[in-house]
């Protein structure tokens, strides 16, 4: 059988075949001869022995980095750090809040096709850890520590207020029951807990006592919020009502015996107070919520007080956008202030200049604080959803606390 194709059929086939070819495509933007920029080389990372996650600034030394800050990316186990400085041979970066002793550091530079890898695994340590068995169901009010770094906290437990002890292994046990929760508490020279609760009473509790055996030790001249000992065993207390009381804790006579008014601050109410270097420091407020820190010289061994001197105007510093809730001092006299400031819950004041401390990893509010025996500051972070104690490695020693036995 023979087949004949007319010109029309051949033309149709040609059109069909042409219509099946790909349409004209744009030229490829890929340059097969482009080998990219130089691969970054990571030689060293300082500090070499590790650093605090989310806090410290690391310096990466090497080659083929970009002097343009935004053209460098540094990854820590795949999580991006915050590059804060760069040259062709160094990068300054704040790592993420990633705690690990096996961190792979990789550097990417715009234009380079390959990561620069640090040959050693790096260590990122925790500057702040949660401490103790506390959760949103434990209502924590105040805390203190003994010489062995055992933590004692005041809890508004059910059905009674209690003091709990948390040892250095973070095992906890009830220290005692109490008549009330403590707005401020201190371990005294004899091992007793002295505490106040916004009222005109100083309470004293012994380890192992039942609620009904909590002692109303002294009746004060004013409502007390906080208290502290000096090196001579004088106990100072203050709160609303502008009165600073002095108590001789060795006077075991009547409720008012051994209690005297050390100073009247007129229009100032006391939020918190601390003894440091022969001065009584007080965090104060007024009816118009003006807050400031003052210091008052302790004139003699009996606890007589001198004149008030302004140390720091908190309300002026914050423009009244945050309330100071507690404070303490370091061994060198730096002041730490805990507050409800969302972006700066912990403030450090050095020589009159204030800055945020560990802003990136702390949350507000910080409502109470006390030093351990070394570089650790223990704070209470308390909201409607959070009730926790945090242990902060400040890399500096706390001020002497004279009440601890």
- Residue 33 forms part of a structural domain: no
Does one domain contain both 93 and 170? no
Residue 48 CB contacts under 8 Å (≥ 6 apart), including other chains: none
- The mean per-residue pLDDT over the stretch 24-38 comes to 65
pLDDT value at 170 more than 90: yes
Q: Which two tokens stand for residue 28?
A: 């490829």
- Distance CA(228)–CA(402), nearest Å, equals 8
- Residue 22 forms part of a structural domain: no
Q: Could you report how far apart the first and last alpha carbons of the chain are, in Å?
A: 119
Contact of 243 with 288, CB cutoff 8 Å: no
Does one domain contain both 102 and 150? no
Residue found by looking up tokens 């705690």 in the block: 99
Q: What is the pLDDT of residue 24?
A: 62
Q: Which two tokens stand for residue 198?
A: 């916004």
- Distance CA(65)–CA(111), nearest Å, equals 10
CATH number, domain at 95?
2.60.40.10
DSSP 152: E
Does one domain contain both 120 and 167? no
Residue burial 156-170, b: 16+ Cβ < 10 Å; e: rest: bbeebbbbbbbeeee
Does one domain contain both 380 and 310? yes
Cα distances (Å, whole numbers) of residue 303 to 232, 341, 386, 397: 8, 34, 39, 26
Please tell me whether residue 13 adopts helix, strand or coil conformation.
helix
Does one domain contain both 365 and 231? yes
Number of structural domains the chain divides into: 2
Does one domain contain both 225 and 256? yes
Please tell me whether residue 154 adopts helix, strand or coil conformation.
strand
Contact of 324 with 354, CB cutoff 8 Å: no
- Distance CA(96)–CA(124), nearest Å, equals 9
- Distance CA(205)–CA(191), nearest Å, equals 9
Q: What is the pLDDT of residue 32?
A: 62
Residue 214 binned pLDDT confidence (cut-offs 50, 70, 90): confident
pLDDT value at 67 more than 90: yes
Residue 80 binned pLDDT confidence (cut-offs 50, 70, 90): very high
Q: Whose CA is closest to 168, among 366, 367, 372, 330?
A: 372
- Distance CA(221)–CA(202), nearest Å, equals 11
- Residue 320 forms part of a structural domain: yes
What range defines the domain where residue 202 resides? 128-393
Does one domain contain both 215 and 67? no
pLDDT tens across 337-351, in order? 999 999 999 999 999
Residue burial 227-257, b: 16+ Cβ < 10 Å; e: rest: bbbbeeebbbbbbebbbbbbbbbeeeeeeee
- Distance CA(246)–CA(275), nearest Å, equals 13
pLDDT tens across 221-273, in order? 999 999 999 999 999 999 998 999 999 999 999 999 999 999 999 999 999 99
Please tell me whether residue 277 adopts helix, strand or coil conformation.
coil
Q: Whose CA is closest to 294, among 262, 316, 272?
A: 272
Peptide bond into 47 cis (omega under 30): yes
Which of 125, 145, 176 lies at the terminal end of a domain, its last residue? 125
- Residue 179 forms part of a structural domain: yes
- Residue 71 forms part of a structural domain: yes
Q: Which residue has the higher pLDDT, 88 or 160?
A: 88
- Distance CA(294)–CA(315), nearest Å, equals 13
- The mean per-residue pLDDT over the stretch 66-72 comes to 97
- Residue 13 forms part of a structural domain: no
Which of 100, 125, 150 lies at the terminal end of a domain, its last residue? 125
Cα distances (Å, whole numbers) of residue 171 to 129, 150, 219: 16, 10, 35
pLDDT value at 39 more than 70: yes
Does one domain contain both 88 and 183? no
Q: Whose CA is closest to 232, among 246, 218, 245, 242?
A: 246
Q: What is the pLDDT of residue 323?
A: 98
Does one domain contain both 110 and 145? no
- Residue 91 forms part of a structural domain: yes
pLDDT value at 388 more than 70: yes
Does one domain contain both 374 and 338? yes
CATH number, domain at 248?
2.120.10.30
Residue 23 binned pLDDT confidence (cut-offs 50, 70, 90): low
Does one domain contain both 102 and 134? no
In the chain, the percentage of residues whose pLDDT exceeds 90 is 80
Which of 99, 125, 151 lies at the terminal end of a domain, its last residue? 125
Would residue 314 be called left, alpha or beta, if left means φ above 0 and alpha means ψ between -120 and 50 degrees? alpha
Q: What is the pLDDT of residue 9?
A: 38
Residue 136 binned pLDDT confidence (cut-offs 50, 70, 90): confident
Please tell me whether residue 231 adopts helix, strand or coil conformation.
coil
- Distance CA(303)–CA(339), nearest Å, equals 29
- The mean per-residue pLDDT over the stretch 84-97 comes to 98
Q: What is the pLDDT of residue 171?
A: 93
Q: What is the pLDDT of residue 7?
A: 42
In the chain, the percentage of residues whose pLDDT exceeds 70 is 91
- The mean per-residue pLDDT over the stretch 318-336 comes to 97
Does one domain contain both 286 and 181? yes
- Residue 36 forms part of a structural domain: no
Q: What is the mean pLDDT of the chain?
A: 91
Q: What is the pLDDT of residue 393?
A: 98
């Amino acid at each position: 059988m023979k087949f004949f194709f007319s010109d029309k059929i051949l033309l149709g086939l040609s059109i069909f075949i042409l219509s099946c070819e790909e349409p004209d495509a744009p030229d490829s933007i890929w340059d097969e001869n482009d080998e990219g920029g130089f691969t970054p080389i990571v030689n060293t990372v300082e500090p070499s022995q590790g650093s605090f996650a989310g806090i410290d600034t690391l310096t990466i030394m090497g080659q083929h980095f970009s002097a343009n800050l935004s053209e460098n990316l540094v990854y820590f186990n795949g999580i991006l750090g915050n590059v804060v400085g760069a040259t062709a041979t160094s990068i300054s970066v704040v790592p993420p809040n990633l705690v690990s002793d096996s961190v792979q550091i990789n550097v990417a530079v715009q234009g380079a096709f390959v990561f620069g890898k640090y040959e050693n695994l790096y260590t990122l340590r925790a500057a702040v850890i949660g401490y103790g068995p506390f959760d949103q169901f434990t209502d924590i009010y105040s805390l203190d520590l003994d010489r062995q770094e055992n933590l004692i906290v005041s809890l508004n437990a059910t059905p009674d207020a209690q003091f709990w002890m948390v040892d250095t292994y973070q095992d906890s046990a009830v220290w005692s029951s109490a008549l009330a929760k403590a707005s401020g508490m201190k371990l005294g020279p004899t091992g007793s807990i002295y505490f106040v609760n916004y009222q005109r009473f100083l309470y004293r509790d012994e380890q192992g006592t039942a609620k009904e055996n909590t002692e109303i030790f002294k009746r004060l001249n004013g409502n007390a919020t906080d208290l502290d000992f000096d090196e001579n065993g004088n106990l100072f207390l203050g709160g609303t009502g502008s009165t600073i009381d002095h108590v001789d804790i060795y006077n075991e006579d009547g409720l008012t015996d051994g209690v005297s008014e050390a100073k009247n601050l007129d229009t100032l109410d006391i939020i918190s107070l601390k003894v440091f270097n022969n001065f009584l420091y007080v965090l104060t407020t007024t009816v118009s919520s003006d807050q400031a820190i003052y210091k008052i010289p302790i004139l003699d061994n009996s606890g007589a007080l001198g004149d008030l001197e302004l140390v720091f105007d908190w309300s002026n510093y914050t423009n009244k956008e945050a309330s100071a809730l507690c404070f303490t001092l370091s061994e060198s006299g730096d002041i730490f202030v805990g507050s409800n400031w969302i972006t700066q819950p912990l403030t450090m004041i050095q020589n009159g200049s204030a800055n945020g401390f560990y802003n990136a990893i702390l949350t507000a509010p910080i409502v109470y604080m006390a030093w351990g025996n070394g570089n650790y500051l223990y704070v209470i972070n308390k909201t409607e959803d959070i009730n926790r104690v945090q242990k902060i490695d400040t890399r500096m020693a706390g001020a002497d606390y004279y009440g601890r036995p």
